[in-house]
């Protein structure tokens, strides 16, 4: 059941996921059973601990969704631990240069492709039960490395970033890009959309895929992003979906109370 997002990339179909910010394994399972290809589990902007994070990854495995962990920073230990608990891929924030991208790949891959430290007792290795050579080979082949373009510098260096071997997906961060471009919150500004178009063009040249978050109205913005060439779409997250719906339900109930 694992590797659903990797399969979508191979089949060249549009993939859909959703974000997880509440640390709820139940919500991760529901997302998987609903049919999402992946869950985007954030650690950069949350206080989630490693034990809870492992439960979220297990929930994704059970329900058939790929688990992607956005690490706090481009750090060898953080990337290694995220993969050792069983994540299908890592999302590395603030990758602005080819050197940044190379480090992310090296941290995520075992030698000779990278410098990832190996331990047979971890969950991803089957707690010393799995075939060691096959585990190393499969990890290097299947682990997804996703780098985030969130600042003008990243867009300026995109041609070099997409040329780094081992990078699978470029994730555009429109919110941070708007802030660092002096357009805080104006994610539909022409300058932000031009940056996305440039990323898509460079990624397509190297056969890579582009990921982007999708906010309301979901259908309209999904259509726009697909037309621009985005093929991996994160449809909101648990908080942004639950909070408005709860407000609607409460308002409806109060009217008849």
Nearest one of 159, 152, 149, 161 to 103, comparing CA atoms: 161
pTM for the whole structure: 0.95
Q: Which of these, 42, 99, 37, 102, lies nearest to 63 by C-alpha position?
A: 37
Count CB neighbours of 128 within 10 A: 10
Task: Indicate the pLDDT class of residue 2, thresholds 50, 70 and 90.
Answer: low
Mean pLDDT to the nearest integer, 192-201: 97
**Residue 111's CATH number:** 3.20.20.60
d(CA 199, CA 229): 10
* Inter-CA distances, 17 with 31, 35, 245, Å: 8, 9, 19
| Neighbour count for residue 44 (Cβ, 10 Å) | 15
Give the model's pLDDT for residue 222. 97
Sign of the dihedral defined by the CA atoms of residues 21, 25, 31, 32, in that order: positive
Beta strands in 1-80 (DSSP E): 15-20, 38-42, 66-70
- Which phi and psi angles does 213 have, rounded to 5°? -75, 155
Q: At residue 201, does pLDDT exceed 50?
A: yes
Tell me how far apart the alpha carbons of residues 163 and 166 are, in angstroms, rounded to a whole number: 9
pLDDT band at 200 (very low <50, low <70, confident <90, very high): very high
- Residue-wise pLDDT for 159-180, tens only, equals 999 999 999 999 999 999 999 9
Rg of the chain's alpha carbons, rounded to an integer? 18
Q: What is the mean pLDDT of the chain?
A: 96
CA dihedral 232, 37, 145, 25 (to 10 degrees): 130
Q: What is the number of domains present in the chain?
A: 1
Q: What is the mean pLDDT of residues 13-28?
A: 97
Residues of the chain with pLDDT > 90, as a percent, come to 95
> Which DSSP state fits 162?
T
pLDDT of residue 120: 87
pLDDT for 130 equals 75
- pLDDT confidence of residue 1: 42
Q: Which domain holds residue 243?
A: 4-256
Q: Is the peptide bond before 183 cis (omega within 30 degrees of 0)?
A: no
Beta carbons of 100 and 71 less than 8 angstroms apart: no
User: What is the distance between the alpha carbons of residues 253 and 205, in angstroms, rounded to a whole number?
Assistant: 53
- Output the pLDDT for position 185: 86
Distance CA 222, CA 213 (A): 9
Model confidence band, residue 102 (pLDDT cutoffs 50, 70, 90): very high
Q: How many Å from the N-terminal Cα to the C-terminal Cα in the chain?
A: 46
């Amino acid at each position: 059941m694992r590797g659903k997002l990797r399969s979508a990339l191979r089949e060249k179909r549009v993939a859909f996921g959703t974000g997880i910010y509440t640390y709820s394994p139940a919500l991760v399972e529901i997302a998987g059973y609903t049919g999402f290809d992946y869950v985007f589990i954030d650690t950069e902007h949350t206080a989630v601990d490693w034990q809870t994070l492992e439960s979220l990854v297990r929930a994704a495995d059970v329900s058939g969704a790929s688990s992607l962990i956005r690490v706090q920073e481009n750090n060898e230990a953080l990337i290694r631990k995220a993969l050792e608990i069983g994540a299908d891929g890592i999302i590395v924030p603030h990758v602005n240069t080819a050197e940044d991208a190379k480090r992310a790949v090296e941290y995520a891959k075992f030698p000779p492709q990278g410098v990832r430290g190996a331990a047979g007792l971890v969950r991803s290795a089957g707690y010393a039960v799995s075939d060691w050579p096959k585990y190393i080979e499969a990890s290097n082949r299947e682990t997804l490395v996703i780098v985030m373009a969130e600042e003008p510098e990243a867009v300026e260096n995109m041609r070099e970033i997409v040329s780094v071997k081992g990078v699978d997906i470029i994730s555009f961060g429109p919110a941070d890009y708007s802030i660092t471009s002096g357009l805080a919150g104006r994610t539909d500004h022409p300058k932000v959309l031009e940056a996305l178009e440039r990323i898509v063009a460079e990624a397509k040249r190297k056969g890579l895929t582009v990921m982007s978050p999708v906010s309301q109205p979901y259908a309209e913005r999904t259509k726009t992003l697909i037309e621009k060439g985005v093929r991996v779409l994160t449809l909101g997250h648990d908080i942004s979906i639950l909070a408005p719906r709860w407000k609607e339900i409460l308002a409806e109930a109060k009217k008849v109370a």
